[in-house]
Amino acid sequence: MLEPMKQMSTISLDGRSLAALLQEEERHYLSHLLNAHQLPKPKLCVILIGDLAASLTYVNTKKVACEKVGIEAEILHLEGQCSQKQVIETLQKLNKDPLVHGILVQLPLPPGMDTATILDTIDPLKDVDGLHCMNAGRLVLGDTRAMIPCTPKGIVRMLQHYKIETTGKHVAIIGRSSIVGRPLSILMSHQAWKGNSTVSLLHSKSENIQEMTQQADIVVAAAGRQKMVNSSYIKPGAVVIDVGIHRLADGSLCGDVDTASLQGIAAAFSPVPGGVGPMTVAMVVENVLTAWARHYKAREPK
Ligand code: NAD
């Protein structure tokens, strides 16, 4: 008689608990250094332009996370109608302020503003989002002085924590944005960043996306398309990372992955909410501490 097929047990990659653990380590790290040395507290300044509800939520979440760890965090809220010149002048002041160690401009910017010009105004040493062209270049070159963008960094940290092997594996990333897909493709493929994977970077012009993802050991969904990825996109035993965030009419959140369809097929998936989102915030905190430690030539966080 035929044995019934054994179903794989699918685990959920708990970004919320891992982020809480990392934040506790970050709090200890900071209080230890502040007790041992006469150093000013780290300070993050976040520039928020306009009143986009999602942006307001994100900046507040980052502020609360920083404060929990002992970092001072200030939100500079500029009106949506402010000029690009005003934003640039604000950044130049923050660049010069020796007591500001991290600067972040919440994206997206209002229409008419040039994102690259504004991001490149930030002092690269204070650029905790890692989006200044110098940090992007250092990331590509595998130069460890790079500030690494928070979402890709959080994904890599999550894979490492769960001991998900990446060396020699095929990673398919859906989405090639400068803040998620592209920097992640570099981290995952580079020897210097210990990714060592073979990466397929897929996007809106890619053909046969499903054929590519079905061959992948790790699939990262970062297309901004609600529940686009389902079981037909993956091979049995694959790990699926969901980057997407979508607010539904009932106020709940979902991602780019139809996670219910992965049960018993995927080895693991990151949930939305509670997966990549909290890891991104934990990496903002870590990058502020890194910028602060580098400024005072102190030991960097792990
Ligand atoms: P983006 O709009 O800048 O980029 C989307 C990318 O997906 C583009 O490269 C595009 O070519 C590709 N794409 C779009 N439709 C596609 C399709 N049908 N097939 C294949 N590729 C397609 O978005 P982003 O800023 O990278 O964000 C992506 C998603 O991740 C959004 O839902 C966003 O809210 C979310 N996000 C989450 C976090 C977090 O911390 N969890 C951080 C950043 C972004």
CB 46 within 8 A of CB 87: no
Between 297 and 73, where is the model more confident? 73
Q: Is 277 in the pocket of ligand 1 (CB under 6 A)?
A: yes
51 is catalytic: no
| Token representation of residue 66 | 């920083």
CA atoms within 13 Å, Cβ hemisphere of 271 = 15
Q: Which pLDDT band holds residue 8 (cuts at 50, 70, 90)?
A: confident
pLDDT at 1: 56
Burial 210-230 (b: 16+ CB within 10 A, else e): eebbeebbbbbbbbbeebbbb
Marked catalytic residue, from 123, 129, 242, 256: 129
Model confidence at 198: pLDDT above 90:
yes
Gap from CA of 224 to ligand 1 centroid (Å): 4
pLDDT at 104: 98
Taking only the tens place, the pLDDT of each residue in 69-78 is 999 999 999 9
pLDDT at 4: 60
Q: Give the neighbor-by-neighbor strand order of the sheet with 72-78.
A: 72-78, 43-49, 102-105
Q: Which pLDDT band holds residue 2 (cuts at 50, 70, 90)?
A: low
In the chain, what percentage of residues exceed pLDDT 90? 96
Q: Which of 61, 204, 280 to mutate to test the pocket of ligand 1 (most atoms within 8 A of CB)?
A: 204
Nearest partner of 11 among 222, 166, 240, 281, judged by Cα? 240
Model confidence at 6: pLDDT above 70:
no
Distance CA 45, CA 31 (A): 20
Residue with tokens 């500079």: 76
CB 195 within 8 A of CB 187: yes
Gap from CA of 247 to ligand 1 centroid (Å): 14
CB atoms within 10 A of CB 143: 12
Q: Is 241 in the pocket of ligand 1 (CB under 6 A)?
A: no
Model confidence at 84: pLDDT above 60:
yes
Model confidence at 52: pLDDT above 80:
yes
Q: What is the mean pLDDT of residues 271-290?
A: 98
The 3-state secondary structure of the chain reads CCCCCCCCCCEECCHHHHHHHHHHHHHHHHHHHHHHCCCCCCEEEEEEECCCHHHHHHHHHHHHHHHHHCCEEEEEEECCCCCHHHHHHHHHHHHHCCCCCEEEECCCCCCCCCHHHHHCCCCCCCECCCCCHHHHHHHHHCCCCCCCCHHHHHHHHHHHHCCCCCCCCEEEEECCCCCCHHHHHHHHHCCCCCCCCEEEEECCCCCCHHHHHCCCCEEEECCCCCCCECHHHCCCCCEEEECCCEECCCCCEECCECHHHHCCCCCEECCCCCCHHHHHHHHHHHHHHHHHHHHCCCCCCC
pLDDT at 299: 86
Nearest partner of 142 among 81, 98, 188, judged by Cα? 188
CB 49 within 8 A of CB 87: yes
| Token representation of residue 25 | 């380590």
Q: Name residue 153's amino acid.
A: K
Q: Is 69 in the pocket of ligand 1 (CB under 6 A)?
A: no
pLDDT at 3: 64
Taking only the tens place, the pLDDT of each residue in 112-131 is 999 999 999 999 999 999 99
Mean pLDDT of the chain: 96
Q: What is the mean pLDDT of residues 278-289?
A: 98
pLDDT at 302: 80
Distance CA 209, CA 41 (A): 47
Q: What is the mean pLDDT of residues 155-170?
A: 98
| Token representation of residue 285 | 């905190």
235 is catalytic: no
Taking only the tens place, the pLDDT of each residue in 12-26 is 999 999 999 999 999
Q: What is the mean pLDDT of residues 67-90?
A: 97
| Token representation of residue 261 | 């369809």
